Structure 1
Amino acid sequence: MSKKPLILGIESSCDETAASLITENEEGFPVVLSNIVSSQVEVHREFGGVVPELAARSHIEKIDWIIKKAIDESGRKIEEIDAVASTAGPGLIVCLSVGLSFGKALALALNKPFIAVNHLEGHALSPKLNSKLNYPYLLLLISGGHSQFLNVQGLGKYKRLGTTIDDALGEAFDKTAKLLGIEFPGGPQIEIFAKKGNPNKYDLPKPIFNKGGCNLSFAGLKTAILRIIKNIKTDQEKFDLAASFQNTIEQILYKKTKIAFTEFEKRNNLKKKIFVIAGGVAANKKIKSMLLNLCNEKNYKSIFPPTEFCGDNAAMIAMVGLEKYKLNQFNDLDHPAKPRWPLDENAPFLKGAGIKL
């Protein structure tokens, strides 16, 4: 039996310090041996958002212990690791630098290859951790910092079909939660509030709903929430506003995803239509249910990563590392941290730039 590669993944792009070891079975499917994630919610709660310097300090304090725990839980020895994969971007540069530097140092000490991973590519491949996933597929990446539709044609081959021209969806959830008085991180709590409210109580704007292809915009929605919240006096009104916000997001994503389906089908000769939804917001049950129904309606196979792989984690980084290891796609130890690193290198430089609305 030939030895299967053992990859260590390290993630520190924002406010999670994470490490994971993965290998694969005889059929070539990935096997997650350990996946340790340490969140910094308590560090940032009093500030209502992530403070980069505090996040970086927390990464420095925890990363050695997190990696040791990942190795211990995997049942393997550090000497057995075949390559080290670290997130190199996009993200907060002071945070990225911690995991990236540690990964490089460990690869050097072990005399093993180093692999610099795009965090977004980790999300894009995260469903491979529990599903057989064939290219091409349409990806909806919805997280705290990113919202985009991507035509995924293979490892490293991405074409952006649409993006947010302002706020990311996860950011819109977090900011709305903050306006509603929900403690950080508030995005996931919106769904809990929404269950108690009337989704039709408030008529909220749907920016670029009827133009801009499958591009997205959420800033105007957030501004409307800010205006309405000033006149809200009861908890029930807050629940109604949360429900109306959630309902509006569902309507926007339903319409824009249908447009993305059309664009995806134009660009590919498809035997099977596959739609992958990844990123932290993919854990939202209402959004997930709506997208599942849409996939049934349009004859798409829908694939979501397991909930534990929706948010930032190192298993998805190790997954990209495993794919690249098998292709001998290694990086030099001087590979820089990249606070901005689009999957589609030909996409417009700035959000909104070059997007005809």
Structure 2
Amino acid sequence: MSASNNTANVAKAANAGSLSPNSSYLLLAIETSCDETSVAVVRDGRNVLSNIISSQIDTHRQFGGVVPEIASRKHVESITIIVEEAIREADISLENIDAVAVTQGPGLIGALLVGVVAAKSLSLALDVPLIGTHHIAGHIYANHLIGDIVYPALALVVSGGHTELVLLEQEGKFRIIGRTRDDAVGEAYDKVARALQFPYPGGPYVDKLAQEATEEVVLPRSWLEPDSYDFSFSGLKSAVLAEINRSRMKGESPDFSALARGFQNSVIDVVTVKAMKAAKEFGVKQMLLCGGVAANKGLRERLASLCGDVGLPLLIPTNKLCTDNAAMIAAAADLKWRRGEFSTLDLKAEPILSLEDWSVGS
């Protein structure tokens, strides 16, 4: 089908019967950007009727990280089953679905393709609009599932593949003001966890050990240029490895708990100080924490304390909504639905999709 024909098709589907982009509607969302296969059914972008997540952690743990080809195959095996389970838990039928959303990017190309093909097939079969959605927009708007977002807002995005400060001057408009220049926070956690002899994914283990530690190995903070909101964590990771090697060269056992605490405090100091500085500079009315690492207890507590000190409202999703999930994709896709901004059937998976370019009205 040509792009022009499909544009007419989705426009017709969106306005068929009593529905319009401003009416109450049911959206089925699909997320397959990495190693979770997730499908959700959400009413009006906020009321989650089902949010099924099938994790591949046990499969990838033996390799110490995500193997892209294996992830893709697992998505192929799971996607139909997870769609059926999401529909069953929502207590609806597929014919009740008014639109289909899917993570278009960023992510692993093979994994993304599975979700995109499934979403296109459903959109075509059900004759309903298709909405290609940005994965990070999903993490940010996961906050909209638990409370109202007040603009301008600042989102601190911390995940396995992303560490960014995103300014939202208005609904659905994203401006990245800072990003990591090397490792993302989650990536750094996993690499340090491996050095501390924890299994993949290691972030929760490092967080727990840091919380329990009674001593701390003080590690460097990478602030970069005085006016920069960018991040860098590769040097911190190297500092942890250097401390372990130094202890072993002396014939001593490394103090893993003190190292975990030192590593976590360094990460938290840098991301929270920069976030609070940006919040003040841009005069935001709300702070949003999002991404897989937003489940980190130490980070949640520190940011809540700092925001509380200056009276800045803070939203943090529940732990289930911090990880990759389809409900967050539905929350972001709602931005496009309400404006009638639908995708055509020539939608492509884009592993490096730009968040700013995905903004509404783009």
Shared fold by TM > 0.5?
Answer: yes
Per the TM alignment, residue 321 of structure 1 is displaced from its structure 2 partner at its CA by 2.1
- Checking the alignment, whether the CA contact within 8 Å between 1:232 and 1:238 is kept in structure 2 is no
Aligned residue number for residue 224 of structure 1: 239
The separation in 1 between residues aligned to 2:147 and 2:230, in whole angstroms, is: 28
Amino acid in structure 2 at the alignment position of 1:102: A
Aligned partners of 1:40 and 1:260: how far apart in 2? Answer: 36
2:314 aligned partner:
302
> AA paired with 2:185?
L
Equivalent positions of 1:1-357 (< 5 A) are 4-24=24-44, 30-200=46-216, 202-208=217-223, 211-232=226-247, 237-265=255-283, 273-345=285-357
Compared CA separation, residues 321 and 345, structure 1 to 2 (3 A): closer
Runs of 5+ unmatched residues, structure 2? 1-17
Show the counterpart of 1:353. none
1:91-126 CA-partner distances (Å, limit 9, x unpaired): 000100000110001110111110000001101111
Q: Distance in 2 between matches of 1:138 and 1:309?
A: 18
Residue 289 (structure 1) shift:
0.7
The Cα offsets for residues 13-60 of structure 1, whole Å up to 9 and x where unpaired, read as: 000000000003xxxx72100000000011111110000000000000
Residue deviations 1:192-237 (CA, integer Å, cap 9, x gap): 111232453x221112356352211101000111111224467771
Of stretches 134-143 and 225-234 in structure 1, the one that deviates more from structure 2 is: 225-234
| Alpha carbons 1:173, 1:190 under 8 Å: kept | yes
Distance 1:20 1:343 in 2: 22
1:66-87, CA deviations, whole angstroms, 9 ceiling, x for partnerless residues?
A: 0100000001110000000000
- AA aligned opposite 1:294: L
Note if contact 2:211-2:298 (Cα within 8 Å) is conserved in structure 1.
Answer: no
Shift of 1:241: 0.6
* Superposed displacement of residue 322, structure 1: 2.5
Q: CA RMSD of the aligned region, Å? A: 1.9
Alpha-carbon contact 2:286-2:313 (below 8 Å) kept? yes
Matching residue's letter, 1:301: P
Report the Cα distance in structure 2 between the residues aligned to 1:6 and 1:227, rounded to whole angstroms: 53
Stretch moving more, 37-46 or 151-160: 151-160
- 1:199–1:95 distance in 2 versus 1, CA, 3 Å: farther
Cα shift at 1:288: 0.6
Give the gaps of 5 or more residues in structure 1: 347-357
- 8 Å CA contact 2:224, 2:230 repeated in 1: no
Q: How many angstroms apart in 1 are the aligned matches of 2:253 and 2:193?
A: 13
- 3-state SS of paired residue (2:169): strand
CA distance in 1, matches of 2:215, 2:93: 53
Task: Find the aligned partners of 1:155 and 1:103 in 2 and give their Cα distance.
Answer: 25
What SS does structure 2 have at the residue aligned with 1:335?
coil
* In structure 1, C-alpha distance between the alignment counterparts of 2:215 and 2:136, rounded to whole Å: 32
Does the residue aligned with 2:262 lie in a helix, a strand or coil?
Answer: helix
Change (3 A) 1:34 1:254: same
Q: Cα distance 1:101–1:251, how it changes in 2: closer, same or farther (>3 A)?
A: same
Q: 1: CA distance between counterparts of 2:344 and 2:110?
A: 20
Letter in 1 for 2:258: D
**TM-score, normalised by the number of residues in structure 1:** 0.89
The amino acid that maps onto 1:11 is E
**Quick one: structure 1 residues 85 and 235, their matched pair in 2 at CA, closer, same or farther if it must change by over 3 Å?**
farther
Q: Which amino acid aligns with 1:208?
A: W
- Residue 320 of structure 1: CA displacement? 1.8
**Identity rate, percent:** 40
Q: Is the 8 A contact 1:177 1:189 kept in 2?
A: yes
Give the TM-score normalised by the residue count of structure 2: 0.88
- What CA deviation, in whole Å up to 9, does each residue of 1:254-294 have, x standing for no partner? 321222113322xxxx6xx1001110111111111100111
Contact 1:199–1:247 (8 Å) recurs in 2: no
Point out the structure with the larger helix share: 2
Shift of 1:155: 4.1
